Structure 1
Amino acid sequence: MVQVLFRHRIANVKKAKRSNRPKWDVGKLKDENVRKSFQLTVAEQIERREHDIDFKPVEVESRWKAIKESVVQAAKEVVGEKRGDRNDWFDEDCFHALSLKNNARAKKIQRETRGNTQAYNDLRRKANTVLRRKQRANTNKKLEETEKLAVENESRNLYRNVRWFQKGFQPRADGCKDKDGRIIEDEGEVMERWSEHFRELLNKDTHSESPAEAFFGPQPQIDEPSLNEVQNAIKKLKNNKSSGSDGIVAEFLKNGGERLTESLHALILLIWNQEKMPEEWCTSLVFPIHKKGDKMECQNYRGISLLAVTYKVLSLILLERIKGYAEEALGVYQCGFRQNKSTTDQIFILRQAAEKFVEHDTELYLLFIDYQQAFDSLSRRGVMDALRKDGVPEKLVRLIDTTLRGSMSQVLIGNKVGEPFTMNSGVRQGDSLSATLFNLALNEAVKGIDKKGTAIDKSWQLLAYADDIALMGRSLVALREAFEALNEAGKPLGLKVNEMKTKFLKISPSYRVPRVLQSVAFGPYKFEQVDSFTYLGTSVNSKNRVQDEICSRIMAGNRAFYANIKLFTSRLISRSKS
């Protein structure tokens, strides 16, 4: 009788590097000498390339190519790429200890004697001891570095270190599941599956996506963007953000000097007059970020779009031009992405209304509406029509249409980029224009509905923070009528109500026993009735008890405390405030 012991595990197929795009060491630009050298190099590169352009017909693509190549070349020469510090504790001592252990293991497998087995066990213990010692030293180094960052008020790097202690090592799933639930490991098939997922997600059916009709009436004179507008837009760009497909980051534009700003201004003037963008500005990279659930399921990820930073300058200029029209058109019901308004405004209104209804011994009916991929399914023609109806000049409407027309995406997985696909619906994720465009389109849907007053002095009230919408009504009939009117008005805009995520809540005085309803019918829709709902981060319940919200905040504080327990209990962290 022969007995065999198999030790088997599923092999993790080795993949390529996570990214081919350069990760620039932008921290060097804080040094005055490096910054001046970068500015001089950029200016020299631009002069060399634009000298040839001046003698040819001026084209958007050629001007953009000169700027891009100049900035990237200057970055390579002066800034350089940032060296990855993953597992920086693994040094020669670790490598030597593992080599000795592996050699002893090979010798033991070849000839399993007591001496070889004992030698292998001893070397394995020594290797583990070395690795633990190095890891412990690295952890202590991180702790000391974290305290130093706290003293120096380096908040960004401080929170990055804190997250490192909270999460530890997070393995990345290289494969995924297809629509039938089968696991895919081949790189090509994985990329095709991700591209298929986002292609379906970012291309929703719309009623009509033919070009919107232009308005030919009297139009105000729209001035070209000034150099000052370009400079202000560059200042508004956020630092420490990933680059788009062009490899240019915001720090390069902010520290590139006057020559770079002037060249970018000349490019934007060309785009403004020709109403045509560089092809690279139309393409975004979609990077999937895991939300929760099975990491192999594509549906459990949300896409983060990486746009060209230079495009964001034009986007910010257009946003500033239409902001006045948007503020004049939008009602007080909308607080999303508006100056001097926030989620606390809507939370305050909701809680005040609930308290007044309970105080007057009246029931309050609430419907929290969720749209299916609201930003991605929006009809672009509907957006353009809304802009025109709100008085936005035709020139600005055509330029905004240019930013959406022909937009494409590529899925970025590790260092692999999928085939580009066209986006026929929705606004561009990550674009500063998107939230305002959505607000104006939604405003077109609610124009025919009476938005004045509150649920206290009329039958119903609408609250909105971008696409987070709450309908309040004095009765179920009034709430149903308001929902049906809003739903019908939103259909031409491509807005579809998500029946599964839309919830109904009834707030009753505490001494009443509310009637238990499994679902409430609103026409063809059936919405689940819930006892509590989290709206804009705060918990609302059927008894209007704030105790539940207080308890949830205490629990959140406890979770944060125990997630950082290693920091609080470390002897390397000073107990006194510096």
Structure 2
Amino acid sequence: MEKKCKKAKWLSGDALQIAVKRKEAKSKGEKERYKHLNAEFQRIARRDKKAFLSDQCKEIEENNRMGKTRDLFKKIRDTKGTFHAKMGLIKDRNGMDLTEAEDIKVQEYTEELYKKYLHDQDNHDGVITHLEPDILEWEVKWALESITTNKASGGDGIPVELFQILKDDAVKVLHSICQQIWKTQQWPQDWKRSVFIPIPKKGNAKECSNYHTIALITHASKVMLKILQARLQQYVNCELLDVQAGFRKGRETRDQIANIRWIMKKGREFQKNIYFCFIDYAKAFDCVDHNKLWKILKEMGISDHPTCLLRNLYVGQEATVRTGHGTTDWFQIGKGVRQGCILSPCLFNLYAEDIMRNTGLEEAHAGIKIAGRNINNVRYADDTTLMAESEEELKSLFMKVKEESEKVGLKLNIQKIKMMASGPITSWQIDGETVETVSDFIFLGSKITADGDCSHEITRCLLLGRKVMTNLDSIFKSRDITLPTKVHLVKAMVFPVVMYGCESWTVKKAERRRIDAFELWCWRRLLRVSWAARKSNQSILKEISPGCSLEGIMLKLKLQHFGHLVQRVDSLEKTLMLGGSGQEEKGTTEDEMAGWHHRLNGHGFGWTSGVGNGQEGLVCCNSWGRKESDMTEQLN
């Protein structure tokens, strides 16, 4: 079998013909002819690449002009050539490389991962006769309209757009099916099937454990799942504590990042050491024990009818793995929450909540005392962070969590667990392994340091922004894309990377200058103006017309986040930011608010009443305001 050669997608037929002749000349040892053909190939290849990029950039500009956002960013990804790792050679359980196509499959690994143990048989009682209220037609319509479009189809190959085109006809058919499932508690087998697609993570791509899987399920089943989720939500909201922010409405990763930063800030204010333990579970979502899950749902007051529906959904579920080498046979799934299922996040949250209840963290005296409240953990789904004011208290909390987690089948990954402290700490030995002590940690995508300083995170984000900017060079250097489109792309693709988690940053004067310098670097790069060129920053800003500065956008996000927290009746974030009995704490918050107000005025922001409704809002009156002169003085 002849090996297939890889070729660049921009090469024309002429270039490929010359490449064949060049290969022949090389094999025959004709050096002069090879040298001539190679030069000719390079010339044509450069021409083809330039023409290809020009066509791609014209399509990007056209998509932006027509408002086709999805096509715009898809074309950008295609143009910049993002690397996607593919499954190639893998190792078997003995560590030997598998080379045959029929062997390069992950069915054995995946089947072993989800296999149910023989002593954990599902003891199902049968059909429940006392039913919850019937499913209404408007619920089906709402569920169908809320399903995200442009998603891959499941095993049946039916896209969700087909149901949405059929409108009322599809609603009637799906309502009939959902109502039948609701009454009989029996699911169609196709709705219990999933197609797994392995995606490489960090590490050796030959190791199956370094892959995570995404699952494709039928879109029709999502209608029933959304209705069931909506009816379960009232139970979930009542049972989960506010320290859990994962997969909850109105809660984000930035909330937990801000919580950690505020806790560290309170520790510095009151001169207390704080000890953190960042817990990592090994395959947490894939190791949930089904029988224990049903028991937990019953203990939390969820009625028998929805529990029976969930139980029958999980019993007899099947999956197949799709790779570049084909699709495996169907195999049984015996444990773990369903991949790709809408209900899985809330089910796992309830599972994790039961662990913490049995641990007794809520009643434990260990933790950080703030505003009359004891806080010893914050969670985002399976990412759990324990905290205490002493190393002994932290280790006690950790051992309790470890013990209760193992009782329900979740094992801690000791190698990935990290400890961080603002005071002295000794190394821990857990199950013969040493828990690593670090001075900084990437928590939910944001760098947290032991001293609580944000300057390291700001520097890191600015470097990530430069990396994204450099990756988009081929687009930004194109003359086929207009300057307003390039500015729009910078604001949509570069600035969000820099601003992630900025709501909780404490930005000093030096960091503000770095942020301003980064923004000017971006605009100069768009205009292809060297830093050595004798062109003032004022002229650059006038030509770009960016509207608000990057720091101004950050300040606006910070103020919006603050308003978002203040509007909550009672929350962990509000307690940490505004709570406290000391005058020092109150003064600190007021001083920071005054600083925000001063800098917002410096960026040209002002308060104005809304048109017609008398509401106040934040507006940008002058794009750069007085900050422009400060930045010009700094950078020139």
How far, CA to CA, are the matches of 2:82 and 2:410 in structure 1? 40
Shift of the alpha carbon at 1:498? 1.3
Say if 2:480 is the partner of 1:480. no
How far, CA to CA, are the matches of 1:562 and 1:238 in structure 2? 32
Shift of the alpha carbon at 1:394? 0.5
Residues 267-286 of structure 1 correspond to what in structure 2 (within 5 A)?
267-286=177-196
Residues 149-548 of structure 1 correspond to what in structure 2 (within 5 A)?
149-167=63-81, 172-191=86-105, 194-203=106-115, 208-211=120-123, 221-414=131-324, 416-448=326-358, 449-451=360-362, 455-457=368-370, 461-508=376-423, 514=424, 517=426, 519-521=427-429, 526-548=434-456
Q: Deviations over 1:215-253 (max 9, x none)?
A: 99xx97512212211111111111111111111122122
Q: Which has the higher contact order (CA 8 A, sep 6+)?
A: 1
The aligned amino acid for 1:197 is Y
How far, CA to CA, are the matches of 2:297 and 2:339 in structure 1? 19
User: Does the CA contact (< 8 Å) of 1:206 and 1:377 recur in 2?
Assistant: no
Q: Deviations over 1:351-376 (max 9, x none)?
A: 11111112222111111111111110
The aligned amino acid for 1:530 is V
Shift of the alpha carbon at 1:569? 2.1
Q: Deviations over 1:53-79 (max 9, x none)?
A: xxxxxxxxxxxxxxxxxxxxxxxxxxx
Alignment correspondent of 1:136: 50
Shift of the alpha carbon at 1:463? 0.7
SS at match of 1:156: helix
Give structure 2 stretches of 5+ with no counterpart: 489-636
How far, CA to CA, are the matches of 2:34 and 2:400 in structure 1? 76
Q: Deviations over 1:445-469 (max 9, x none)?
A: 2224242797125665111111011
Task: Indicate how the Cα distance of structure 1 residues 576 and 396 shifts in structure 2: closer, same or farther if over 3 A, else same.
Answer: closer
How far, CA to CA, are the matches of 1:387 and 1:171 in structure 2? 39
How far, CA to CA, are the matches of 1:344 and 1:307 in structure 2? 30
Task: Indicate how the Cα distance of structure 1 residues 538 and 462 shifts in structure 2: closer, same or farther if over 3 A, else same.
Answer: same
Task: Indicate how the Cα distance of structure 1 residues 213 and 539 shifts in structure 2: closer, same or farther if over 3 A, else same.
Answer: farther
Tell me the TM-score normalised to structure 1 length: 0.75
Task: Indicate how the Cα distance of structure 1 residues 104 and 232 shifts in structure 2: closer, same or farther if over 3 A, else same.
Answer: same
Alignment correspondent of 1:559: 467
SS at match of 1:286: strand
How far, CA to CA, are the matches of 1:502 and 1:214 in structure 2? 42
Alignment correspondent of 1:73: none
SS at match of 1:361: coil
Task: Indicate how the Cα distance of structure 1 residues 462 and 557 shifts in structure 2: closer, same or farther if over 3 A, else same.
Answer: same
Shift of the alpha carbon at 1:261? 2.3
**Larger deviation, residues 534-543 vs 362-371:** 534-543
User: Does the CA contact (< 8 Å) of 1:206 and 1:379 recur in 2?
Assistant: no
How big is the alpha-carbon RMSD for the aligned residues of Structure 1 and Structure 2? 3.2
How far, CA to CA, are the matches of 1:442 and 1:206 in structure 2? 24
Q: Deviations over 1:493-515 (max 9, x none)?
A: 2111111111111124xxxxx45
User: Does the CA contact (< 8 Å) of 1:368 and 1:502 recur in 2?
Assistant: yes
SS at match of 2:340: coil
**Larger deviation, residues 346-355 vs 164-173:** 164-173
SS at match of 2:197: strand
How far, CA to CA, are the matches of 2:131 and 2:347 in structure 1? 22
SS at match of 1:255: helix
Task: Indicate how the Cα distance of structure 1 residues 97 and 576 shifts in structure 2: closer, same or farther if over 3 A, else same.
Answer: closer
How far, CA to CA, are the matches of 1:246 and 1:122 in structure 2? 55
The aligned amino acid for 1:421 is F
Task: Indicate how the Cα distance of structure 1 residues 212 and 446 shifts in structure 2: closer, same or farther if over 3 A, else same.
Answer: farther
SS at match of 1:199: helix
SS at match of 1:289: strand
Q: Deviations over 1:528-556 (max 9, x none)?
A: 21111111122222212111111111111
User: Does the CA contact (< 8 Å) of 1:325 and 1:392 recur in 2?
Assistant: yes
User: Does the CA contact (< 8 Å) of 1:460 and 1:479 recur in 2?
Assistant: no
Task: Indicate how the Cα distance of structure 1 residues 451 and 125 shifts in structure 2: closer, same or farther if over 3 A, else same.
Answer: same
User: Does the CA contact (< 8 Å) of 1:224 and 1:272 recur in 2?
Assistant: yes
How far, CA to CA, are the matches of 1:96 and 1:506 in structure 2? 63
SS at match of 1:500: helix
Give structure 1 stretches of 5+ with no counterpart: 1-9, 16-85, 509-513
Shift of the alpha carbon at 1:212? 6.1
The aligned amino acid for 1:196 is E
Report how many aligned residue pairs link the two structures.
481
The aligned amino acid for 2:141 is Q
The aligned amino acid for 2:122 is S
Task: Indicate how the Cα distance of structure 1 residues 171 and 11 shifts in structure 2: closer, same or farther if over 3 A, else same.
Answer: farther
Tell me the TM-score normalised to structure 2 length: 0.69
Task: Indicate how the Cα distance of structure 1 residues 497 and 156 shifts in structure 2: closer, same or farther if over 3 A, else same.
Answer: same
Say if 2:477 is the partner of 1:569. yes
How far, CA to CA, are the matches of 1:431 and 1:313 in structure 2? 11
How far, CA to CA, are the matches of 2:222 and 2:84 in structure 1? 32
Task: Indicate how the Cα distance of structure 1 residues 366 and 104 shifts in structure 2: closer, same or farther if over 3 A, else same.
Answer: closer
User: Does the CA contact (< 8 Å) of 2:215 and 2:340 recur in 1?
Assistant: yes
Q: Deviations over 1:34-69 (max 9, x none)?
A: xxxxxxxxxxxxxxxxxxxxxxxxxxxxxxxxxxxx
Shift of the alpha carbon at 1:562? 1.1
Residues 37-56 of structure 1 correspond to what in structure 2 (within 5 A)?
none
SS at match of 1:162: helix
SS at match of 1:189: coil
Task: Indicate how the Cα distance of structure 1 residues 183 and 403 shifts in structure 2: closer, same or farther if over 3 A, else same.
Answer: same
User: Does the CA contact (< 8 Å) of 1:203 and 1:377 recur in 2?
Assistant: no
User: Does the CA contact (< 8 Å) of 1:209 and 1:379 recur in 2?
Assistant: no
